[in-house]
């Protein structure tokens, strides 16, 4: 069976940056996803289209088809007084913020007595993604899975 819209696909994957650092991996537990619904990044979905169980796919995905380009206007300086109730603000801390596009994660990149600099870019924005994928299984989605837009079963949603 070929990977196409509305198929459930089980993949083992390793994601590395251009310098070979492992950024993410299924760690031997295949990840099931519903193809064609934007459940995985665009570039990877395109690369897997038409492949079958047993295929191995190596693909390099440009930031535009991955987590987007970095947008420097998403780096902002905020007065520390706006972080009321947060005692220690240190680089690397993450906060949720409301934005016009919904809830967004922002990360503190610098902080002094008065000003906190935060970055709302996705941590992998601007990064070329190197995926190594083994396709384990391709099956039809159930009517219920299609209705919900995600996978049910042992490794998917339970409800």
Question: Among 29-37, 38-46, 61-69, 147-155, which window interacts with Zn ion (CB under 5 A)?
Answer: 147-155
CB of 158 to Zn ion, least distance (A): 9
Q: Nearer to Zn ion by C-beta: 103 or 143?
A: 143
For every residue of the chain, DSSP letters joined together read -B--TTEEEEEEEEEE-TT--EEEE-TTSPEEEETTTTSS-HHHHHHHTT-BTT-EEEEEE-GGGTT----GGGEEEEEGGGSTT-----TT-EEEEEETTEEEEEEEEEE-SSEEEEE-S-TTTTPPEEEEEEEEEEEEPPHHHHHHTS-BSTTSB--
Question: Is residue 56 part of the contact set for Zn ion (CB under 5 A)?
Answer: no
Question: Is residue 70 part of the contact set for Zn ion (CB under 5 A)?
Answer: no
CB of 51 to Zn ion, least distance (A): 25
Question: Is residue 149 part of the contact set for Zn ion (CB under 5 A)?
Answer: no
- Contacts with Zn ion by CB under 5 A lie at 148, 157
């Amino acid at each position: 069976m070929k990977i196409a819209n509305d198929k459930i696909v089980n993949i083992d994957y390793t994601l590395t940056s251009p310098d070979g650092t492992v950024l993410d991996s299924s760690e031997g537990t295949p990840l099931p996803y519903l193809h064609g619904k934007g459940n995985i990044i665009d570039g990877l979905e395109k690369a897997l289209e038409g492949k079958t169980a047993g295929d191995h796919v190596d693909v390099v995905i440009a930031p535009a088809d991955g987590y987007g380009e970095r947008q420097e206007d998403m780096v902002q300086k905020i007065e520390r007084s706006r972080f009321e109730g947060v005692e220690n603000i240190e680089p690397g801390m993450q906060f949720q913020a409301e934005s016009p596009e919904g809830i967004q994660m922002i990360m503190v990149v610098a902080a002094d007595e008065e000003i906190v600099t935060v970055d709302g870019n996705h941590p992998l924005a601007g990064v070329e993604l190197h995926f190594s994928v083994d396709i384990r299984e391709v099956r039809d989605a159930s009517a219920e899975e299609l209705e919900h837009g995600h996978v049910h079963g042992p490794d998917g949603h339970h409800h």
